[in-house]
Copies of this chain bind each other. A is one copy, B any other.
Amino acid sequence: MNQDYIIPNEWSIIEEGFNAERVKSSESLFSIGNGAMGQRANFEETYTGSTFQGSYIAGVYYPDKTRVGWWKNGYPEYFAKVLNAPNWIGINVFVNDEALDLNTCKKVENFRRELNMQEGWLSRSFKATLPNNVEIKVEAKRFLSLDLDELGVIQYSVTPISSDAKITFQPYLDSGIHNEDSNWDDQFWNTLKVTQDGEHAFIEAHTMKTYFHTCTFMQSEVFINSAKQAIQPEVEQSENKISFSYSVDVKENETFTIHKFGGYTVDRNHEIDELVAVAKNVLKEGISRGFDALLEQQKQAWAKIWEMADITIDGDVKAQQGIRFNILQLNHTYLGKDARLNIGPKGFTGEKYGGSTYWDTEAYCIPFYMATKDQQVARNLLEYRYNHLDRAIENAEKLGFTNGAALYPMVTMNGEECHNEWEITFEEIHRNGAIAFAIYNYHRYTNDYSYIPEKGLEVLIGIARFWYQRVNFSTAKNKYVMLGVTGPNEYENNINNNWYTNYIAKWCIDYALENIEKVKTEYTSDYERIMSKVSLSEDEMQSMKKVADNMYFPYSEEHNVFLQQDGFLDKELISVADLDPSQRPINQKWSWDRILRSPYIKQADTLQGFYFFEDHFTQEELERHFDFYEPFTVHESSLSPCVHSIQAAKLGRMEQAYTFYLRTSRLDLDDYNKEVEEGLHITSMAGTWMSIVEGFGGMRVKNDTLSFEPRIPEQWDGYSFKVNFRGQIVKVNVSHSETQFELEGNNDLEILVNNNKVTVKPHSLVTI
């Protein structure tokens, strides 16, 4: 609906002109975050038009009572919800005592919003004529500090331009907020205390049920032009709210400015009874640095992120803007500092998909974080699952598994399952495989084996046990089969022998057994510690091996391909190309049964397996499976095009690879799915990164060596990216004629380029 209004720009997201219809979309697109908190780009001043207010604190959630038509055993009682947190950004603005509200202004001109990706701030400016005919100019800029991640800062200026005017800034805190996404209209916050201490204000509140204690805080300074004003504010205080009013009679063309410092302290990081004291210190530190210095530090911090994570694209501004937007928003969401946090599919930009963590993290996000951050970040993401292992075991027990079998939840905040559709919650169990694969992938990429004896092996054993118990022996097939699953392709439910699931299950068992052996030989004390904890007998291992060795994989002799599941060939195999376009997207046009009995694939399923385990298959096998399955794929998941882009690139089909790339990179900026109002698709943004680095750049780790097979879409003049490979930064610069490699650090690095060994020396360009 609001497509294509974002102005192409290499480093900024820009909107010009005020359009009330676009407010909710822009609130999503211009979202900011710093890993510890994030917020939609809601206006600071009152806005009575249609808006979706959202401010979120990492790790603070609410267990909403589950809503379901018909209850089934094993469903979670609660569904953890991302929680709209108390508002600290609000600044009511009055002009001659009339409220500034863009929804009621007589005229709004020169409206401009900018999300400066390079420097990490959001700004907004406009000229408005209020109902009382006073004309003012407004400029606002805000950011969430990367440096002091409990702090956000706003600079908000009003200049009367048609006459003198009394201007009032009324910064406030408000914990009487509600959630858009609430099953029962419960109140989610309980306000404990609203306090004022000189120019500071604090609201202490805790979430209902989960008792996350937070302190929301603020302090402000006001200026005429650049001269600080010592105004005693009027204080208003109620049960859930506190505001300070600063009024000044401002001369025409003079500027009244407020610097508002605010944010949250939370009990994840501090003792409950110190939340206010810590908040005071944060404010003190913020005020003493001041807005300008904090902004400068923000620019430097973002420069560091970009230094490592930037991808440049020459000759295609929209593609450039798109990839940077994806990298920016991933960094808004998760910076990898805290193993208790993870990457929610909508990050801090909306409430949908209430739980925080999906298999998206392991399958799509970890490669991005491994390559653009220190390896500790990826390790933190692995540890997140290690820390939830006990819950995963409990979760499996609820479904009847025993003896330490672990089933990680489909959606979770704290390790407990948060989702309740039986075909997903109970059956989309392949997620377990991705969690094991991430351990393998981490070791493959970083060569840090220590994680496995320390923590990973326990996870691998729990997962292997789950698969071992989940299969059953089919006398008819004389093989182990896995009945009643949903694969990555969620357009098939409760199917038997999903090839991807069976394959990754077998792999998980093999990989667990292989690592048990290795840890036994090389990490004796870890081995003993783990074995005494998990009591894994030789017998059980033998039985597991038997399952792995005799797993059933559906195969078609006729087509010479693995079948996505039993019975796939009974379908009416009409390709997507031959489908009436008016019938698409099928998830909006067709009833669920029709989707299920169709051959149409929501996202890579068999091909996801070929992506994870590409060295298990020949290029020719890949080609055959790609040619068989891609024609039936509707890509109605945001996670589908990236895998197909990578596979198409691998097959040298650059035109197709580029088409898939386009579908993923500007998904939100161009509002491809007509739902950007609800928030951004954060996890699929990592897939966009993979499309370039792994797809076009052809980056892999082969036999412990970093390897590239660079290709470039015709539409681009060139592109570059950097990766952190085992502490060394490799910069890759691809054009149509050549590829350049550059290395930071002190040691040579041997890499493979199109399977040829190349030695890259520090700070000297290698051109191929």
Question: Contact residues of A with B, CB < 8 Å?
Answer: 66-70, 72-74, 398-400, 420-423, 426-427, 472-477, 481, 483-484, 493-497, 558, 566-567, 569-573, 587-594, 596-597
Contact = CB atoms under 8 A, between A and B. Distances in A.
A483 B593 CA distance: 9
Given A69-B66, A421-B69, A74 B569 contact: no
B496 A493 contact: no
Query: Majority SS of interface residues in chain A?
Result: loop
Given A69-B68, A496-B567, A597-B484, A591 B400 contact: yes
A569 B475 contact: yes
B67 A483 contact: no
> Residue among A73, A422, A566, A593 with the most chain B CB within 10 A?
A593
A68 B400 CA distance: 26
> Residue among A421, A423, A558, A591 with the most chain B CB within 10 A?
A591
Nearest to A482: B597
A472 B591 contact: no
Contacts of A573: 475
A589 B484 contact: no
11 contacts: A66-B69, A67-B67, A68-B69, A69-B421, A73-B588, A426-B593, A427-B593, A472-B570, A476-B569, A483-B571, A484-B597
Given A422-B593, A591-B398, A569 B474 contact: yes
Given A483-B570, A569-B474, A596-B494, A72 B591 contact: yes
A558 B422 CA distance: 33
A447 to B, nearest CB: 38
A477 B427 CA distance: 28
Contacts of A477: 570
Contacts of A69: 66-69, 420-421
A558 B475 CA distance: 11
B73 A426 contact: no
Contacts of A68: 67-69
A547 to B, nearest CB: 14
Contacts of A73: 587-592
A477 B569 CA distance: 9
A472 to B, nearest CB: 4
A418 to B, nearest CB: 12
A69 B64 CA distance: 12
Given A399-B593, A592-B73, A593-B426, A571 B494 contact: no
Nearest to A427: B593
B590 A496 contact: no
B597 A472 contact: yes
B592 A74 contact: yes
A313 to B, nearest CB: 37
A74 B587 CA distance: 11
Contacts of A421: 69-70
A496 to B, nearest CB: 5
B72 A476 contact: no
Given A73-B589, A73-B591, A472 B399 contact: no
Contacts of A569: 474-476
Contacts of A420: 69
A567 B494 CA distance: 12
Contacts of A72: 591-592
Contacts of A472: 570-572, 597
Given A493-B494, A597-B483, A474 B70 contact: no
A477 B570 CA distance: 7
A70 B569 CA distance: 29
A480 to B, nearest CB: 10
Given A72-B592, A73-B589, 17 more contacts: A66-B69, A68-B68, A73-B588, A74-B592, A74-B593, A398-B591, A400-B591, A426-B591, A427-B593, A474-B570, A475-B569, A475-B573, A476-B570, A483-B597, A493-B494, A497-B570, A566-B567
A59 B166 CA distance: 67
A566 to B, nearest CB: 6
A277 B484 CA distance: 61
Given A66-B69, A570-B477, A594 B483 contact: no
Contact of A399 (B426, B484, B591): B591
A422 B422 CA distance: 11
A400 to B, nearest CB: 5
A596 B67 contact: no
Contacts of A572: 472-473
Nearest to A69: B68
A588 B400 CA distance: 12
A493 to B, nearest CB: 5
Contacts of A475: 569, 573
> Residue among A473, A570, A594 with the most chain B CB within 10 A?
A570
A481 B399 contact: no
A420 B597 CA distance: 18
Contacts of A494: 423, 493-495, 596
Contacts of A496: 567, 570
A470 to B, nearest CB: 9
A574 B608 CA distance: 35
Contacts of A597: 472, 483-484
A73 B497 CA distance: 27
A757 B633 CA distance: 64
A475 B66 CA distance: 44
A571 to B, nearest CB: 7
A538 to B, nearest CB: 25
